[in-house]
Amino acid sequence: MPACTVVVITYNDAARLPRAVRSVLRQSLRDLEVIISDDASTDGTPRVAAELMRADPRVRYLRREVNSGGCGAPRNDGLDAAAAPYVMFLDSDDELPRHACKSLLTEIERTGADFVSGQISRLYESSGRLKPYYPTLFARRRVVEGIREEPELFLDSFSTNKLYDVRFLRDNLLRFPEDIHYEDHVFATELYALARRFAVVPWVVYHWHRARGGTSISLSIKDMDNVRHRVVAARLSDDILREHGAADLVPARQYRFLRQDLRVYLNPLPTMDRVWVKEFAAVVRLYLEEIAPEVFDRVGPMDRVCCRLILDDRVDDLRIAAGSLTGAGAPPRAAVQVGGRTYWGTTATPGMDITDLRLAELPYSATRLRHEVTEIGQDGDRVRMTVHTYDPFGVLPVEWKAFLRVGGEKVPISPQPSGECAYVSEIVFTPRGRCEPRIGFTRVADGHTTTDRLLVDPAMKPIELPGGTVKAEGYAAYLCVRAVSARSLLRRIRRRLLKRLSTPKLKLRVYKALIKVVPPRRDLALFEADVGKGYTGSPRAIYEELRRSGLPIEAVWSVARGRGNFPPDVRLVRRGSWAYVWTMARAGYWVDSHGFPLDYPKPRRTRYLQTWHGQGIKSIGFDAPDLRGDFDGPRAQWRRAVARWDALVSPSAEFSRCFLPSNGYTGRVYRCGTPRCDALVRGACADGVRERLEIPPGKKVLLYAPTYRDRAKGSGRSVRVDLELMARELADEWVLILRTHPVERYKPPERLRHFVRPAGSYPEINDLMLASDALLTDYSSVMCDYALTGKPMLFFIDDWDDYRLSERGVYHDLPSIAPGPCVTTTADLVAALRDLPAVHAAHAGRYAAFRELWCADERGDASARIVADFFTAGAR
């Protein structure tokens, strides 16, 4: 008897069936059987199945005489034939990851659960990208003692991401309905109603293929019968819960319908014609009328608005509202503000409340205007269009300037007041390359600009022009320009040729040859900060001091992309380019804060000043996760890189104690403070920081600067505080500046922009520190620099044990030395901020000791002293 049976259902899918079956046969669990359950296919499926059986005796084939019209019957056939004590289901157009069966089998045997459920990921075949489905449901490994413990799991109504105890299914006569689509919704509901305990695992156990032009039932949403079947499945699921004495769970199951099932149709609804939308609303309305009001309160504001419009049979408004559900979320044409609440439309109607979106409270640069293209056509090589602009929240000032941005070009426009909407614009533009045209309104008083995309009719016919194709894109139908295919092909060919001629290996080989024959220029210095990402930190401070000193040294800055925030008179070179290779070979001085390309040896007579980018409690160098492993390659590479340094800036004795041995550095050390901290010592804040970030007068500023997590770089998981809770509790008094680490990727939701000001790309963190009233961080080195301001610090360390023991590792016990409270919940953080003066005073002793440990050498003259020694010594 095999340990596991995998039932692969199929119908007229001979081409993809072998891929699905082989994904099972390649499982790390070898003791299994595959049952191909064929729903009377009329293509070559029987032949393909026969070949699979000949190739592997673990494959069996079942075939129905007549097609059942759904997935329930072939799944039941496979379940009846299963010889193993455990069973999984697989669709013929999908696959199982290699360890799916073994890992789920281990878990069900370990826990004694009735079934185990794992993460399902959509695999987009056009790009190969995997996207987890409701990842929060599978965030942690656990055993659930019945669905009442976690009714949110009704969102997981798949039958294919689970391993089942066959005896449990047979004893409870659990089978799939055979007369409807979405039978897995009904099956899953009864499964949850009957299961006393089940397990959830966080790893991916099923790859759900999403092919362009696919024919699966879940993609046939234009078919009105598809809608009817989904509604029938929802009603049957509700009835099953009631029959099993779980009527109290019906609202949780209906919430799943509103959040997931209904959205399947609402997302593309703007692309449907009015007749379809009218019929759809009629089909869905009867079921929505059965749902209690409190269930609607659980879904998002715009989902709730769409439900209200369906119930009121307002089809035209429904098409407009549905366009706000996807993409960037188009704003409404009109909104009403009454009693501190904001409502979609022209009246304050129950069910139309969108206050929680906070659209009426956004800073001007993030505010939302609605631009609708009502007429569009070709005018020679240009596009001519009429655009109606709506200002639903009344944010446009008295004086403004407007423009259309097309790629890198701004086309001035002259919107005229209109009674039908706010403004009407007649616009003519030339399409260029690949872009999404946006209309912008610049406020004359302060120069802040708000821009938004242009909405068009989803049925708009593409306009082919020499400069590009102008067309509608996405469910919300935004105007976009896409490059002409022939030009695009030539551009791709050119890029590929350049890539072949500019490989990193070739550049390194040329560089090594150059430094043997070309002497360095004693009057040329190459500067780089944060691997070319900005004009900041100690390299910036040294560069500006070098210019003030008048030394005859030409400086070139490395830049990763664009001019960004570099001064206009700074000479730039693209990092990694041939010009960069040449500059590295020719420069007599290198100055940076992280590290020039590791494999590039320093020219023999070039002097390298390493300023490093921070100090603090985190492990570094050979003690850090990426180097502490016993792998000779990376460790030897880093040793060679460190050996290039001629001088190192050390902010403190404590930095030297930890940093020098952990990096194996034995060269010259400057102990005269940190160049980047000179501005903090002097309190030299750039003008207009609060105005640039649109912080209202009278609001206090909290700078939140978390560090990244080594095992989750770019995931956004470093932002660990509950920003929603903080906004609810503190937005009346505080504004939070969010400064994520450069390797992090996190974009705060639009509904939080009234409270959160994202500043990950702000050019200079010193300005943010000086403009803030307090710092919130975790383990970031920013704490050491911030101590120079004397202002309060708070530490959110909910993952302290994980961070110090298994993540990064630390040199200091932060809770015992922190110059402010260490909290692990957002509620405690809010409480500390509300009593901040007293909390700060209570940590005065620790603050003084912390500052003495890290900042004792800071006098505000580090840049001048280092420039006077390093560059003049080099000249000698």
pLDDT at 8: 98
d(CA 263, CA 675): 54
β-strand pairing of 774-777 with 335-338: unpaired
Give pLDDT, residue 212. Answer: 66
Cα–Cα distance measured from residue 88 to residue 90, given in angstroms and rounded to the nearest whole number: 7
648 CB-contact burial (10 Å; exposed 0-12 / middle 13-18 / buried 19+): buried
Which one, of 790, 744, 738, 799, lies nearest residue 765 by Cα? 738
Alpha-carbon span 825 to 306, nearest angstrom: 35
Alpha-carbon distance of 587 to 556, in angstroms, equals 9
- Identify the helix (H) or strand (E) that includes residue 834: helix 826-834
Q: How far is CA 113 from CA 33, 117, 143, 146, 197, in A?
A: 22, 10, 8, 10, 5
Q: Is 277 left (phi over 0), alpha (psi -120 to 50) or beta?
A: alpha
Based on the number of CB atoms within 10 Å of its own CB, is 36 exposed (0-12), middle (13-18) or buried (19 or more)? buried
Under DSSP, the state recorded for 133 is: S
3-state helix/strand/coil string of 498-538: HHHHCCHHHHHHHHHHHHHHCCCEEEEEEEECHHHCCCCHH
Give me the pLDDT at residue 420, please.
79
Helix (H/G/I), strand (E/B), else coil: 101: helix
Do 442 and 436 contact (CB within 8 A), yes or no? no
pLDDT of residue 821: 98
Residue 577 CB partners (closer than 8 Å, separation 6+): none
179-194 residues labelled b (16+ CB within 10 A) or e (exposed)? ebbbbbbbbbbbbbbb
What does DSSP assign to residue 331?
P
**CA gyration radius for the chain?**
31
Burial class (CB within 10 angstroms; exposed 0-12, middle 13-18, buried 19+) of 415? buried
Give the contacts of 170 (CB within 8 A, at least 6 positions apart): none
What are the b/e assignments for 441-459, b being 16+ CB within 10 Å? Answer: bbbeeeebbbbbbbbbebe
Sequence-distant (≥ 6) Cβ neighbours of residue 206 within 8 angstroms: 90, 94, 95, 96, 97, 100, 118, 119, 120, 121, 158, 160, 161
Going by C-beta distance under 8 Å and a sequence separation of 6 or more, which residues neighbour residue 41? 10, 11, 12, 13, 14, 63
**What per-residue confidence (pLDDT) applies to 632?**
82
- Selection from 389, 363, 566 nearest residue 449 by Cα: 363
Whether 21 contacts 33, CB under 8 Å: no
SS3 493: helix
With a CB cutoff of 8 Å and minimum separation 6, the contacts of 616 are 779, 780, 781, 783, 784, 854
Kindly report the three-state secondary structure assignment for every residue of 673-718: CCHHHHHHHHCCCCCCHHHHCCCCCCCEEEEEECCCCHHHCCCCCC
Q: Which amino acid is at 94?
A: D
- CA distance linking residue 494 with residue 496, whole number of Å: 5
Give Cβ neighbours of residue 833 (< 8 Å, ≥ 6 apart): 702, 730, 734, 774, 794
CA 182 to chain CA centroid, nearest Å: 31
Asked if 573 contacts 580 with a C-beta cutoff of 8 angstroms, the reply is yes
**Pair 537, 613: CB distance under 8 Å:** yes
Distance CA 162, CA 157 (A): 10
Q: Helix crossing, 301-311 with 274-288: angle to 10°?
A: 100
Over the stretch 239-298, which tens digit does the pLDDT of each residue have?
A: 999 999 999 999 999 999 999 999 999 999 999 999 999 999 999 999 999 999 999 999
Strands 142-144, 129-132: parallel, antiparallel or unpaired by DSSP? unpaired
Give SS3 for 620: coil
Of the candidates 373, 631, 359, which has an alpha carbon nearest to the alpha carbon of residue 479?
A: 373
Is-contact 204 118, C-beta < 8 A?
A: yes
Q: Which amino acid, one-letter code, is at 550? A: G
Question: Is-above-0.85 flag for pTM?
Answer: yes
Looking at the DSSP assignment, which residues form a beta bridge with residue 405? Answer: 410, 438
At residue 713, φ and ψ (nearest 5 deg) are -60, 135
**Contact between 136 and 83 (Cβ < 8 Å):** no
Summarize pLDDT for 383-405 with one digit per residue, the tens: 999 999 999 999 999 999 999 99
Contact 36, 59 (CB under 8 A): yes
Residues of the chain with pLDDT under 50: 214-215, 876
Of the candidates 42, 52, 66, which has an alpha carbon nearest to the alpha carbon of residue 22?
52
DSSP class per residue in 361-395: GS-GGG---EEEEEEEEEETTEEEEEEEEE-TT--
